[in-house]
Structure 1
Amino acid sequence: MRVIGVTGGVGSGKSAVLNYIEAHFDARIIKADDVGHLLMMPGQVCYEPVIQLFGEWIVKEDGSLDRETISKIVFEKKEILEKLNAIIHPAVKKYILREIERSKKEKTEFFFIEAALLIEEKYDEICDELWYIYCEKEVRMERLRHNRGYSDKKIEQMLKNQLSDEEFESKCDFQLYNSEDVAHTYLQIERKMRTYYESM
């Protein structure tokens, strides 16, 4: 089984790429964000530590954590974000490692991990290869405005907190250009996946 890490700036279209791969190949897709959300649910490993970090007031009436409020706090307070990351990220990686082992036993051909902090959290240590989804800044900003309703101020702040294109490129093995139409993106995916089958 080949383990591939996928990263890229916010709005670069990582989900669209992974949705195509999941639909057309024998691939397991796991998103670090989704795992993080799961592990913050009541009874999960990160639930109590997050309450200890923020206080009981962060718990909603149904017992779940108020993730929207947490996001607002960490967006403005970097030191709190670092403490939250120290709780969430090691637990997420541990969960993903278990899932990799399970998928190997199931004889899955490909295992894709999508994470915004793929490089910062050293996922290269558990991946055979890293992909960088590149998309021009203006296209990403328009997607975030249109699809998520973000303000330009919020988008600029998010972009500022991410690695530069050069840093992404220097750390990744393959760059997929995702600024144009989806047909162009799908063609690049097909070509890249074909190289794996040819080397099997």
Structure 2
Amino acid sequence: MLKIGLTGNIGSGKTTVAQVFELLGIPVFYADDEAKKVMVTDRLLIEGIKQTFGRQAYFDDGSLNRKYISGIVFNNKAELEKLNALVHPAVFRAFDSFDQLHKDAPYVIREAAILFESGSYKICDRAIMITAPLEVRIARVIQRDGISRADVESREARQLSQEEKLKLANDVIINDGKQLVIPQVIALHELYLSLAQH
């Protein structure tokens, strides 16, 4: 079974592309959603977070005190790196379980905003980069999330640039609003099916 990484900068359309792969019957692992989930289900991770950030990182009912954690890691790169060093291994464990669950699939997609930044592309056989012009991406995020342009630019600045990611990607999907996405996904789907047979 092939493991295909799927990434793109903010507003590139990662979720939309992932959903097209799902419609083609391909299992998709959403790393960002999984990261939120493991923070309240992975005992090893929960203990690590409590030891690193204090018991107040969790409420008595076991739910994550997101406001408390955000207050620590927001605009503090060292603290964010500590949190990521705890969360990433738990997400890797969840991805391994996902792989086992779908071991009969020809390939699986691992959708992750920070596929390259986290190093998780290294466990993938190939990586897809979704591209779109910066202005298009900014407009999408402002409309989707109702946040300011400055907030979008701040998030963008925390990721590798689109150009840097393109150097690491094997495959590219252009989602600029002009080119059709579905034919590009189908072409890659056919490529991956043929690679999975060899």
- In the superposition, the TM-score normalised over structure 2's length comes to 0.89
**Which runs of structure 2 are paired with 1:10-49 in the superposition (5 Å)?**
10-25=10-25, 27-41=26-40, 44-49=43-48
Compare 65-74 and 84-93 and name the one that shifted more: 65-74
The C-alpha deviation readout for 1:61-111, integer Å capped at 9, x for no partner, is 53301224423542211111000001001121122123223321xx11221
Superposition deviation, residue 137 in structure 1: 0.9
**Which runs of structure 2 are paired with 1:72-111 in the superposition (5 Å)?**
72-104=71-103, 107-111=104-108
How many Å separate the matches in 2 of 1:42 and 1:198?
37
State the match for 1:193 in structure 2. Answer: 189
State the match for 1:137 in structure 2. Answer: 134
How many Å separate the matches in 2 of 1:48 and 1:124?
27
Change (3 A) 1:43 1:132: closer
Corresponding letter in the other structure for 2:7: T
Q: Does 1:7 align with 2:7?
A: yes
Change (3 A) 1:28 1:42: closer
How many Å separate the matches in 2 of 1:15 and 1:146?
15
State the match for 1:179 in structure 2. Answer: 176
Aligned residue pair count:
196
Superposition deviation, residue 19 in structure 1: 0.8
Q: RMSD value over aligned CA atoms?
A: 2.0
Q: Does 1:59 align with 2:55?
A: no
Unaligned runs of 5+ in 2: none
**Which runs of structure 2 are paired with 1:99-178 in the superposition (5 Å)?**
99-104=98-103, 107-178=104-175
How many Å separate the matches in 2 of 1:22 and 1:43?
26
2:42/2:90 contact within 8 Å kept: no
The C-alpha deviation readout for 1:141-191, integer Å capped at 9, x for no partner, is 11111111222221111111111122111100001001216x701111112
Corresponding letter in the other structure for 2:117: E
Partner secondary structure for residue 5 of structure 2: strand
Unaligned runs of 5+ in 1: none
Superposition deviation, residue 123 in structure 1: 2.3
Compare 12-21 and 88-97 and name the one that shifted more: 88-97
1:39/1:45 contact within 8 Å kept: no
How many Å separate the matches in 2 of 1:85 and 1:44?
16
- In the superposition, the TM-score normalised over structure 1's length comes to 0.88
Change (3 A) 1:37 1:44: farther
